[in-house]
Structure 1
Amino acid sequence: MSPRSPDDSPPLGFASLRAPSKLKINTRASSWPRTNLDSGPARVAAPEILERWTVDRSELLIGHRFASGAYSRLFHGIYKDQPVAVKFIRQPDDGEDDELSAKLDKQFTSEVTILARLQHRNVIKLVGACNCPTVFCVITEFLSGGSLRAFLRKLERETLPLEKVISIALDIARGLEYIHLQGIVHRDIKPENILFDGEFCAKVVDFGVACEEKYCNLLGDDPGTYRWMAPEMYKHKPYGRKVDVYSFGLVLWELVTGSLPYQDMTPLQAAFAVVNKVCVLF
């Protein structure tokens, strides 16, 4: 058996499904960060919400890594005998990058407090969260059907039956409608952030850059993914929930055609083409 990469192992202090843990595990987070969201009721509520959703780490077992991002790794897990997905967000070492550390802290706090408010068939369900030195952990239901991106890749540009397109589209639309009714803007709708459960029900996931709609324009950040980002976000103009509708439109385009507008361009070139209304013949 080949040796595992350190990235394939859970952070120190988390019990593994692969071998009995000899570590003494603190069952509660030692202390939650007192980081405030920029404004609004969440400023007061965030620490209380985080405390309420803190998991008992003695009942959390970590399995194999199945995905990773720039600052996060996702693992299979078991919590209270139920399958879960566990996202670990590792902060930079002390003093290494204070700005990035603050940004990740804020995104983690925002993601947990937003997910705690959402209960819908087409939105991923929060199970819990925890905080230990240098690592944040977000635990959600495990969705065994994979991502819409993986599903589309397997099709290899074959046309989906119209009934299947409509079924997937309605699931996403219902999830987005619910999210927007709660006053939330997702800001990163794309096929990678749509997952299926075992019954092929599509759910909106990954609320790491989501925000309350009334405060989106006060945050001053640059979230999302260029290829699916609405023009007003590129231009740093005021925006709201319609940016999710724009991204959803691109997801629909790919569902129907098997390709994306400006697919042969880099993400930055595609962004430039969208902003400048460049016409490309298909």
Structure 2
Amino acid sequence: MGKLSIMLHDKCRNSKESTWPLRKYFRHGGRRDAAITIAQDQWNVEFSNLFIGHKIFHGAHSQIYHGKYKEEHVAIKFVKLRENDEKGTLTSLLETQFFREATYLPRLNHQNVVKFVAACKDTHFYMILTEYLQKGSLRVYLNKLKSKPICLEKVISFSLDIARGMEYVHAKGIIHRDLKPENVLVDEDSHLKIADFGISCKVSKCDSLRGTYRWMAPEMIKGKRYGRKVDVYSFGLILWELVDGKLPFQDMGPVQVAVAVADRNSRPIIPPHCPHVLGDLILQCWAFKPQQRPQFSHIVRVLEQLLDQSFSFHRF
């Protein structure tokens, strides 16, 4: 049982249910916290309809639980603020990430982007509810394969889902900035959805927040001006991993990857079994100069043509 579940259990130790309405956790001295009431009005959260289940992920600053909200299965990202953050640096960072996700995600409505459900901000925690995808992240999916390559048709289908989702996100003027298998979710029909917009920014208002070195474009690593093409670079690394089955730069640590990519223009080796069209697309996506990388609209067209060719091959 995770810490959040323990807190709920302390408040509901007389309950016979295995999960509890979250509102019971938020009662202080017989009344609900004022901050919660404000958040409830802002994001329309009805805490009496929110139930916590088991924990499905534990990160450095957040935990994700499987729950139900108004009878809908949801993923609950719970960020508890540290009491010993005297300078408030971490709190400020987590608050920024929370507000970005709670601001951008409700504006996005696409089959390849995870659906926003609700959000809540309190003085001690932040919480975001999204649709629940039972198969978890693309990273979980790939780990289960244990570095075994995926069939070509699945590679094309997966990468097309990501490209379509990112084409839509970019059309909305948003840069994801942390596109990687951990932030791509798999639904029950094995379709992919872009998730985790905490590091995202508007094209016209990007700050110094950055994603993960292993998938980070060289211009971002160097702290230079950048735009939408940083996501295209990250997509190239994901496409390579789908083809090869291995973690990019798996023998290097994050800082080593940053130095190799930014200073030596290093990239993973395209495997010999990779079709030329996909290999060329990968090379274009992770080109050193952003202007040499394609737009996601072009990537979608290339992948759709490949998918059609794949179906034609199977028919004959």
Match of 1:83 in 2: 73
Q: RMSD across aligned C-alpha pairs, in angstroms?
A: 2.8
State the shift of 1:124 in Å: 0.4
Q: Counterpart in 2 of 1:236? A: 223
Matched residue SS, 1:65: strand
CA drift of 1:28 comes to: 8.0
Alignment gaps of 5+ in structure 2: 270-316
Residues 63 and 77, structure 1, Cα contact 8 Å, conserved in 2:
yes
Deviating above 3 A after TM superposition, structure 1's stretches of 4 or more consecutive aligned residues are 7-17, 19-29, 278-282
Say if 1:13 and 1:23, in contact at 8 Å, map to a contact too: no
In structure 2, C-alpha distance between the alignment counterparts of 1:274 and 1:189, rounded to whole Å: 17
Q: Which runs of 5+ in 1 are unaligned?
A: 33-46
Post-superposition CA distance 1:27-74 (Å, at most 9, x none)? 987338xxxxxxxxxxxxxx99x8442311111001111102111110
Q: Aligned letter for 1:83?
A: H
Question: For the Cα contact (< 8 Å) 1:30–1:131, is it kept in 2?
Answer: no
Equivalence for 2:18: 18
Counterpart pick for 1:149 among 136, 139, 162:
139
Indicate if the aligned counterparts of 1:28 and 1:54 stay in contact, CA closer than 8 A.
no
Question: Which residue among 256, 261, 264 is the counterpart of 1:269?
Answer: 256
Asked if 1 retains the 8 angstrom alpha-carbon contact of 2:19 and 2:53, the reply is no
Q: What's 2:96 paired with?
A: 106
- Cα-to-partner distance string for 1:100-120 (whole Å, 9 max, x where unaligned): 112211211111010011000
Q: By how many angstroms is 1:24 displaced?
A: 7.0
**Aligned match of 1:6:** 3
Q: Distance in 2 between matches of 1:111 and 1:11?
A: 25
Identity among equivalent positions (%) equals: 46
Q: CA deviation at 1:280?
A: 7.6
- Aligned mates of 2:67, 2:33 — CA distance in 1: 18
Matched, 1:220 2:226: no
- Give the alignment's TM-score, normalised by structure 1: 0.83
| 1:192 aligned partner | 182
The count of residues paired between Structure 1 and Structure 2 equals 262
* 1:165-211 deviation line (CA, Å, top 9, x unaligned): 01000000000000000000000000111111111110000111111
CA distance in 2, matches of 1:78, 1:281: 41
Kindly indicate which of the two structures has a greater share of residues assigned to helix.
Answer: 2
Alignment CA distance shift 1:51-1:235 (3 Å): farther
TM-score by length of 2: 0.75
